[in-house]
Amino acid sequence: MKMGKIGMTHVLIAVLVLFALVGGWALLTYNGMINASQGVNSQWANVESSYQRRADLIPNLVATVSGYMKYESGLLANITALRSQWGAAKTPEEKIAAGSAMDSAISRLLVVAENYPELKASANTQQLMDELAGTENRISVERMKYNDAARSYNVMILYFPNNVIAGIGGFHEKAYFKADEGAQTAPKVNLG
């Protein structure tokens, strides 16, 4: 049975409509991945901004605190070194690792500062500590928002058939912030 001219036209139209639908879906999916990727990058910039604020506060805090904390010079040197390490980190993964290390050191500094009554009484130190505590809260919030954006993006690129478009488009999973091992345990301070 031969297909007539009208039948062939219907088949051709159906094939063209199918290609248009698949092409439209692929284009929308690709553009959605770009949008989600840029959302993650934008949120990462907010995380970096919060970390930079903390890094900018650290020299003032160390200078103010160091006169009081003669026994804690190792901690202050460690914080200064970690600040430099964060500044030198290039990738989000390197910055996440450096930021996590700095989180731990800052936590120890805050605990140690509580043990120096004259340090706590200094208005300048108290103001810097309040700024640092506020900055730590901002960092926590921005990291949580970053993880949410990264999760949404990662899910989008991993779902089938989106993963096909992601593979073709070169989209890769974004790293998450994770708690350091042992982070649930409060730091121990020994003033010896």
pLDDT band with cut points at 50, 70 and 90 for residue 34 = very high
pLDDT tens for residues 4-28? 777 888 888 999 999 999 999 999 9
- What pLDDT does 28 receive? 92
Residue spans per domain, the chain: 5-169
pLDDT tens for residues 43-75? 988 888 888 888 887 777 777 666 666 656 677
Q: Kindly list the distances between the CA atom of residue 173 and the CA atoms of 12, 32, 182, in Å, as whole numbers in the listed order.
A: 39, 15, 26
Q: Within a 13 Å sphere around the CA of 91, how many CA atoms are in the beta-carbon half?
A: 6
- What pLDDT does 190 receive? 47
pLDDT band with cut points at 50, 70 and 90 for residue 91 = confident
| Residues 153/39, Cβ–Cβ less than 8 Å | yes
Q: With CA atoms as reference, report the closest residue to 40 among 172, 158, 130.
A: 172
192: CB partners within 8 A, 6+ apart: 71
Stronger pLDDT, 36 or 64, i.e. the higher one = 36
pLDDT tens for residues 144-180? 999 999 999 999 999 999 999 999 999 999 988 776 6
| Residues 152/36, Cβ–Cβ less than 8 Å | yes
**Could you confirm whether domain 5-169 is CATH 1.20.1440.20?**
yes
- Whole-prediction pTM value? 0.65
